[in-house]
Amino acid sequence: MRLSNLITAIDAHACGQHGRVIIGGVVDVPGKTMFEKKVYLETHMDALRKRMLREPRGYPAACCNLILPPTHPEADAGFVIMEQTKYPPMSGSNTICVATVLLETGMIPKQEPETEFVLEAPAGLIRIQAAVANEKVTRVTFQNVPAFALYLDARVEVPDLGTVTVDVAYGGQFYVITEAAPLGLRLTPDEGRDLVRLGEMIKAATQEQLSIVHPENPEITGIGGTLFSGPPTHPDAALKNTVVLSTGTLTWERPASWTGILDRSPCGTGTCAKMAALHAKGQLPLHHDFPHEGILGTIFTGRLIGETRVGSHTAVIPMLSGQGWITGITQYVVDPDDPFPEGFTVGDMWGDMR
């Protein structure tokens, strides 16, 4: 058997959300910054993302991260995040998976009771504080990039739904945030199909009707996901949420092809975006814990530790905590005769993946 393109990866999850971490097989990627490396992967090496995330090696809810040498002198390691339809500049659950893998494999040495280091994401520097007990990483806390509200209580016209009130906020990527109850949703796993359908409809309408561009990086545009918010079911949580992430191309012409997945975790960057919107409305002060429940009942805990500015917007500095678990170590290869070296998608789960 002749095999090539051997990739070594460690599978992990953060409070339920899968995050594959590539630790071998790619030496480096051209680019002077991690954001430039992200763009290079997107435009010249997208076959790697497809191979790792599409069938038969991946599945719709999978995410992948590529560990790379850092470009910033303060960073200990860099990483680029790959999702089914995009390369987000930042992801909380993926950051937790990456930090856990780096520490548990010894790529970054562990120290008890706490290990501090810096990761470089495409969005910027991410400062990590990992709790370690009995040589196990028990919690990962990170300081995220500044988060801010772009729109508050905006009214979006959604076909078949009418007027929907939304916030749009940035927590490492942009989210459109809306209340679940007015749409008849309870944020339970059995509502998955309805959550995806409504989330994709709201996302498409928001992107058509509102301008969504990061004020300091015009290459960060558009909505990363739809965040539905509601009352908690976990006794320790302040609110509950679930985020819809696309696995296909949004188009009003082919609404049946709108296929997405729910973030299995409480969504790290979504939690930061929600905290920014709550703070802008005067509903979440600084230095208060914000335990945020996800669709599986797991919790990420956020906290706003300060204010700053992003362009003309008042912004907040969020911290987020959660735990990751390693689930497997795999070497992925490509057989020269494999008819699907970049994987494949089928419309029963994936929708339109153009």
Sorted by sequence, the CB contacts under 8 Å of residue 95 that are 6+ apart come out as 119, 121, 126, 128, 140, 142, 268
Domain 147-321 class? alpha beta
Domain boundaries, the chain: 4-143+325-334, 147-321
* pLDDT at residue 255 is higher than 70: no
Mean pLDDT of the residues in the chain: 94
Lowest average pLDDT, out of 129-138, 279-288, 340-349, goes to 340-349
Question: Which helix H or strand E contains 151, and what residues bound it?
Answer: strand 147-158
Full-model pTM: 0.94
pLDDT over 70 for what percent of the chain? 95
Helix H segments across the chain?
34-44, 46-53, 92-104, 192-209, 268-280
**Could you list the active site residues?**
91
The superfamily (CATH) of domain 4-143+325-334 is: Diaminopimelate Epimerase; Chain A, domain 1 (3.10.310.10)
In terms of residues, how long is the chain?
A: 354
Q: Work out the average pLDDT over 290-309.
A: 98
pLDDT tens column, 240-252: 999 999 886 665 5
Tell me the C-alpha distance between 74 and 71, whole Å. Answer: 9
pLDDT tens column, 13-48: 999 999 999 999 999 999 999 999 999 999 999 999
Per-residue pLDDT at 254: 56
Tokens of 293: 């429940």
Q: Do domains 4-143+325-334 and 147-321 have the same CATH topology?
A: yes
* pLDDT at residue 117 is higher than 60: yes
Per-residue pLDDT at 246: 86
- C-alpha of 159 from chain center: 27
